[in-house]
Amino acid sequence: MSLYTTTLLLLNPDPYIPIGGVYKRVIQQALHVTLPTGQLDIFVARPPGCFAETHHVVAQLYMIAGAMKELEQKEGIDVRVLLEGVGGFDIADARNRSWEVVAVGKGDTKLLPIFIAEQHSSWFSPALQIIVLPMADSIETTSGFSSSVTGDDNGEGDTEVEAPDLGEAGLVVDSTDEDDGGVEDKGEEGQYSVVALGGTFDHLHDGHKILLTMAGFLAGESLIIGITGEALLQNKKYKQYLEPFPQRCAAVLEFLAYIYPTLHATTHEINDVYGQSVTIEAIDALVISGETRKGAKMVNEERRRRGFHSLKIWEIGVVNGDANNQWAGKLSSTDLRKREHEKAELSQKAHQKLE
């Protein structure tokens, strides 16, 4: 079996049915044909048009892929979720990218002729490898990760994977804001000219990718990313493994340029709780994770004190985080630094044994 450095997986998930039950097997097989240090891009055809549904799709796909990477022992694969229509329909030209293989689930083969017709790049030639992957024929709607597969091409059973807690996503109501007339704000793509968000963004992981993707989803023109400066990170666990500030900035900008090729993104250093969110009046909205809601309210209080308009605050759930237990269990950079620390200790012990 051939292994590929760059794989493009086409799918068309319905946000109203358990995505894991349908696509878990497909994503696992796409990872299986990708080299352990390769890249898998998951292309979402006809994505939902509102914030909560888009978050549901994007977050589930990243979490399914993360679980399957661990199962396949291919944690080194870089998975990215692309939304149709972002950066144009010719996705290769927009990203200066070509793929070695295009994969699709057997239930989504109808996407192929439509996708091919939209590609004008030279990378998409008749000789391009196209593979059709096994896909669930029936699902159990009680769990996004529990499925029963019939007619599996390989005759193998499915592997049960614990469903992640994606948390809630949507607009945070600030009682001090002006009345919006009772109109429900669902958060449409490109709804705000300028959107801001902040974070440490150390060892860029799936939680960061979800946060950046959803902030970019709302931004029509520009995205301002505040990245925590090293002065505020002195008390972080395993701080010796923290990536330098320039490296963290570069990782964020590279990811955003790939996911949203036409979006203008800038990074700024954060040295206090507010960052640029209280100094740039033009910002319209702030995207946060659930654990930082208190800080977001402080931002709006400070903006009003300065005579600025309040920001619309959009929140994404903390993946696997328990709000009642200091967000224990959440996907975090601390865990990644801990792994580096443990690897270094094992390497040191092995070296000492050889001496």
Give the pLDDT of the chain (355 residues) as one tens digit per residue: 689 999 999 999 988 888 888 999 999 999 999 999 999 999 999 898 899 999 999 999 999 999 999 999 999 999 999 998 876 667 887 888 889 999 999 999 999 988 888 877 777 777 789 999 988 764 433 333 333 333 344 434 444 544 455 556 788 765 345 545 444 678 999 999 999 999 999 999 999 999 999 999 999 999 999 999 988 887 777 677 899 999 999 999 999 999 999 999 999 999 998 999 999 999 999 999 877 888 899 999 999 999 999 999 999 976 654 434 443 344 566 666 666 656 665 666 666 666 6
Kind and range of the H or E element at 292?
none
Rg of the chain over Cα atoms, rounded to whole angstroms, equals 21
Alpha helices in the chain (DSSP H): 19-32, 51-72, 91-95, 111-118, 206-218, 245-259, 293-305, 333-354
What is the model's pLDDT at position 184? 60
What is the model's pLDDT at position 105? 95
Alpha helices in 161-244 (DSSP H): 206-218
What is the model's pLDDT at position 97? 84
Integer Cα distance of 259 and 268 in angstroms = 20
Q: Is 290 helix (H, G, I), strand (E, B) or coil?
A: helix
Helices (H) and strands (E) in the chain, counts: 8, 13
What is the model's pLDDT at position 156? 44
Instruction: Look up the CATH number of domain 4-148.
Output: 3.40.50
pTM of the model: 0.83
Of 162, 186, 197, 167, nearest in space to 276 by CA = 197
Topology (CATH) of 170-334: Rossmann fold (3.40.50)
* Domain 170-334 in the same topology as domain 4-148: yes
Domain boundaries, the chain: 4-148, 170-334
Is 296 in contact with 287 (CB distance < 8 Å)? no
Query: Across the strands, what pairs with 103?
Result: 9, 131
